[in-house]
Structure 1
């Protein structure tokens, strides 16, 4: 008796038209796609940082204040109005150039190389990790964020220094002058002040932001709640913005304190944490949370929507 095996129609179509397969929608090489993803991630996050810079600088000012948590003088509207009155409206765009440089390196790598590491780790795991699983996403995001945040520390430090308040007047004329001044303080070591807190913060923020966005998109699409498009991107990014704000604010407070500690009064991350708890209480780790959420929420929405649109423009699959 002869047995005839009939392949499903979908399988035949996928064999005849591999370019139309969801796994391979583009004729571009993998390396070209990874390069374009880096460019898309950098550009989209630069746009998001430009939009959210005023919120970012208010958040930094709040985190540097040491009065009782919840005091009205530390409310975001109070800080913003005081800056506008005493330093001018332009002060809300402090550290803008350094912020753009930071995004090219930091976000270009943490978001742009996320899928590169995701693909490579998936292949190396020989099926032990699934592409839909949260474990693979966390590992990939952690590696990408660690590299990006560590390399971007000098630009991050300059940005924070230029956004801080100096009663005696601004010590830096512009971004190049800030880099040169900090270099004179102690060379490369000064530019990498707080790199441990920066890296930890980058990992915490990126894993919570990128992984939650990726996971929420996946769940909403799988359950047929939303289809690929602006509505899905907005919903996933709203959720991701809240999650990463909650997880990253405490580390961000420590990072900002260390980066602005020019007189070396803090002896590293643990000493900074100890002094904040003793002098200000545990709630101090959530100073500036309103602005952190406002800034990160805005940044997350703008960056992911822009990233998805740029990918579409480049002919690359949605994230």
Structure 2
């Protein structure tokens, strides 16, 4: 009897011991759900904006006099439709989805995780209303996401590029294998072959990471900050109108700041014959042979693509959060 009577007390004591862990478990679960929501929302946005993305990549690969009409997005897009068909506008779709799963899942999905951690570590010195906390969180999340997802980014860009003699890649898996073999040529079966293959897949990682940081700080931070300002000033309340307004501004800001880095990244990733020796050499070559305006090649389509992507991703992300019972961003 005494053992039976003691049992409920033991259960109760055990429950009390576990209680402090419950908030942490719920918090970790929410971080996990935010990652899932961020990945799904950005994959949705990338699917919608893929035609704009591929035209932008083709524009950025054009090596000609800045401002030449042949590089306008309607000319490039029209030529693709005539010579390659409608399906060409969905080039690199699978690689794009894989990239968004990793890259955007991490850069947007872990943004609030790092924001919370930096806020706690600063013991309130970094305010939630200030930009410093937001920039630090976005920079950390983007650095991790961009560096890990670089191979998928390389494959996406390669599959979206124009090849006069026909596409060299049958599918995404074949593209991964082909790019890997580029770096391991002549060293098959050795450690050097693996090292060379990985180096090939991580080509342009510096530009990718810089672009990820620039894009995320200007996109995520501006969305977060504009939302806070509009709500705090009593201009707008939480809802679709606020999400749309904030995402419109965020799309413009991130397009302006990220386009130059994007041009460099695309050039490096498609440099199969290793004519460019890193980021600085690429920048120098563009400046010398094409002029400073070349860094804004494809800006119209970049804005169209990133603007669309930003609006769709944030509206979808906020909706998913609502459905999952997570507070708005």
Give your verdict on TM over 0.5: yes
- Answering whether residue 57 of structure 2 is matched by residue 55 of structure 1, we say no
Q: 1:97 aligns with which of 86, 94, 97?
A: 94
Query: 1:43, CA displacement in angstroms?
Result: 0.1
Aligned to 2:285: 275
Residue 129 (str. 1) matches residue 126 (str. 2): yes
1:298 pairs with 2:308: yes
User: How far 1:126 sits from its partner (Å)?
Assistant: 1.1
The match for 1:213 is 223
1:289 equivalent in alignment to 2:286: no
1:283-315 deviation per Cα after TM superposition (whole angstroms, max 9, x unaligned):
000000000000000000000000000000000
Q: Which residue of 2 aligns with 1:179?
A: 176
Q: Give a deviation string over 1:112-163, Cα, whole Å, max 9, x none.
A: 0000000001000111101111000000000000000000000000000000
Q: What is the aligned counterpart of 1:166 among 163, 168, 172?
A: 163
**Pairing 1:201-280 to 2, within 5 Å after superposition:** 201-280=211-290
- 4+ residue runs over 2 A deviation: none
In 2: Cα distance, 1:289 partner to 1:122 partner: 36
The 5-angstrom pairing of residues 143-162 of structure 1 reads 143-162=140-159
Please give the alpha-carbon distance, in whole angstroms, between the structure 1 residues aligned to 2:238 and 2:66: 42
Give CA-to-partner distance per residue, 1:229-268, whole Å, 9 cap, x none.
0000000000000000000000000000000000000000
Q: 2:68 & 2:47 partners in 1: Cα distance?
A: 29
SS of equivalent to 1:29: helix
Q: Deviations over 1:150-190 (max 9, x none)?
A: 00000000000000001111000000000011111111110
Whole-Å Cα distance in 1 between the matches of residues 222 and 67 of structure 2?
29
SS of the residue 2:109 aligns to: coil
Q: In the alignment, which residue of structure 1 is the partner of 2:189?
A: none
TM-score by length of 1: 0.91
Q: How is 1:48-127 mapped onto 2 (pairs within 5 angstroms)? A: 48-127=45-124
After superposing the two structures, state which structure 1 stretch, 124-133 or 288-297, moved more.
Answer: 124-133
1:16 aligned residue: none
State the SS of the aligned residue for 1:294. helix
More helix by percentage: 2
Distance 2:155 2:284 in 1: 25
CA distance in 1, matches of 2:265, 2:39: 22
Tell me, in whole angstroms, the C-alpha distance in 2 between the residues paired with 1:178 and 1:251: 24
Indicate the residue corresponding to 2:328 in structure 1.
318
> In 1, distance between residues paired with 2:325 and 2:243?
17
Q: Give, in angstroms, the shift of residue 71 of structure 1.
A: 1.0
Which structure is larger by alpha-carbon Rg, 1 or 2?
2
Q: Unpaired runs of 5+ in structure 1?
A: 1-25
Count of paired positions? 294
